């Protein structure tokens, strides 16, 4: 598999095929973001596809290109959710049997959508906790059943399908584009986008963005080879892979200007801002490109920038976790283990002499169930301003309260967030 198999011509041909099933999604001018960053910023709304992500493009292009013999064998794939929906919708449209493997932790919203789009043509298998677990199981299925594999990113035909996003962007903005920012999971989207746009305008800057908990492409580019990460944080499920593709790595190595790594808390904050200010429901991976703007602010000033909002498949049940991560990232929520002295009035001192007028206790639990009044307590405190933390800590020291602030590297922190 070689990178030259992905070309602008292949992407033009893919555009003809996928036109049978996709929508030309809007390229919306983002006035709020443009003013904030002193740039001309546009959002490519791939969340408005029928399957609510760009993945339908690559999946349909691949399956539509199969021979009659290959279609009879059926297809198999692995996915964190969005590719699965694209494959399911394609199988239903083309009346081809498909087996789809997904991690057990995939949001229910995505699982149900896969079943809805695929109907009688697909079966869903939930395996493991990461995309890579599902991928291993899907490969075993492929070998056993001789099915055709539809890879979510490391396939030139899939990449060409994803590249049709860039074709639409270029048809709208032409050579005025200076920067394009896209999320990177396995690298299929950004590989197709970079291949097409770099051919049209070699000076364009293509920027990838990955979640802090799964920087697989950044790691590969830094080390000069594809490396499988030992562990990942799967919160940004649409971009959380342990290992990028060998083909996508080569394309990214050739074309990408930079990779920006974004904390999961920042992603959550961006999701909330998009909803509250713009009425856009983005999934975590979908918000990555917009979350990257802060880090890129000096570079994009005065330029025309396109952020690809790659998907909007977000389960409403995840929003409490999204709010929590955002508050922690903004410095507005903190957790403490407090050892109250064995004398009366200690809790009242915390309430009356340490907490400010707008500070709020959102969690209080004694950690020793058999010694509730004298044991340590787990306390969560929400602030109205980030700067209030310093004031709170000084007051807690003044009243000689014995406490330990739970930091991100603490084992207990991962149980809370």
How would you list the strands of the sheet with 122-126, edge to edge?
122-126, 98-102, 75-78, 148-149
Q: What is the b/e burial string over 285-321, where b = at least 16 CB atoms within 10 angstroms of the residue's CB?
A: bbbbbbbbbeebeebbeebbbbbbbbbbbbeeebeee
Whole-number Å distance between alpha carbons of 196 and 193: 5
Whether residue 55 lies in the annotated active site: yes
Give the whole-angstrom CA distance, residue 75 versus residue 97.
Answer: 6
Query: Distance between CA atoms of 110 and 108, rounded to whole angstroms?
Result: 5
What's the Cα-to-Cα distance from 380 to each of 336, 376, 409, rounded to whole Å?
6, 13, 17
- Annotated catalytic residue, options 90, 310, 326, 333: 310
Sheet architecture: strand order including 40-45: 27-29, 40-45, 304-309, 179-183, 205-211, 258-262
Put the strands of the sheet holding 333-339 in their side by side order: 360-366, 377-382, 333-339, 402-405
Instruction: Tell me, yes or no, if 191 is annotated catalytic.
Output: no
CA 189/CA 203 separation, integer angstroms: 19
Residues 3, 44, 53, 55: which is the catalytic one? 55
Q: How many CB atoms lie within 10 A of CB 365?
A: 10
Non-local (6+) Cβ contacts of 252 within 8 A are 184, 187, 190, 191, 194, 208, 217, 220, 221, 244, 259
Nearest to 163 by CA among 180, 138, 146: 180
Q: Annotated catalytic sites, by residue?
A: 55, 310
């Amino acid at each position: 598999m070689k990178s030259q198999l992905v070309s602008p011509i292949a992407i033009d041909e893919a555009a003809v095929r996928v036109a049978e099933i996709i929508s030309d999604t809007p390229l919306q001018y983002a006035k709020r973001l443009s003013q904030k960053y002193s740039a001309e910023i546009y959002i490519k709304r791939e969340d408005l596809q029928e399957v609510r992500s760009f993945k339908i493009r690559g999946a349909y292009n691949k399956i539509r290109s199969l021979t009659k013999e290959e279609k009879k064998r059926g297809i198999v794939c692995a996915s964190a959710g969005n590719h699965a929906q694209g494959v399911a919708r394609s199988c239903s449209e083309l009346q081809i049997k498909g087996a789809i493997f997904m991690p057990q932790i995939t949001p229910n919203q995505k699982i149900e959508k896969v079943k809805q789009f695929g109907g009688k043509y697909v079966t869903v298998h939930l395996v493991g906790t990461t995309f890579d677990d599902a991928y291993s199981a899907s490969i075993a299925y492929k070998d056993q059943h001789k099915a055709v594999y539809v890879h979510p990113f490391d396939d030139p035909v899939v990449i060409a399908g994803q590249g049709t996003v860039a074709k639409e962007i270029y048809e709208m903005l032409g050579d005025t584009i200076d920067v394009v920012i896209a999320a990177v999971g396995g690298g299929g989207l950004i590989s197709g986008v970079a291949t097409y746009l770099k051919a049209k305008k070699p000076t364009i800057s293509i920027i990838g963005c990955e979640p802090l908990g799964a920087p697989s492409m950044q790691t590969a580019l830094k080390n000069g080879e594809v490396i499988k990460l030992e562990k990942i944080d799967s919160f940004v499920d649409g971009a959380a892979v342990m290992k990028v593709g060998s083909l996508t790595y080569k394309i990214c190595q050739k074309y990408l200007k930079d990779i920006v790594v974004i904390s999961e808390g920042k992603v959550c904050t961006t999701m909330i801002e998009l909803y509250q200010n713009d009425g856009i429901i983005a999934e975590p991976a979908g918000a990555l490109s917009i979350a990257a703007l802060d880090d890129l602010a000096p570079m994009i000033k005065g330029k025309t920038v396109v952020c690809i909002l790659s998907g909007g498949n977000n389960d409403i049940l995840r929003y409490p976790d999204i709010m929590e991560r955002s508050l922690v990232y903004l410095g507005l929520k903190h957790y403490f283990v407090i050892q109250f002295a064995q004398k009366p009035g200690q809790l009242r001192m915390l309430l009356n002499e340490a907490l400010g007028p707008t500070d709020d206790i959102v969690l209080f639990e004694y950690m020793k169930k058999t010694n509730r009044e004298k044991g340590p307590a787990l306390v969560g405190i929400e602030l109205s301003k980030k700067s209030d933390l310093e004031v709170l800590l000084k007051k807690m020291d003044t009243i000689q309260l014995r406490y330990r602030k739970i930091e991100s590297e603490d084992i207990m922190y991962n149980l809370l967030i």
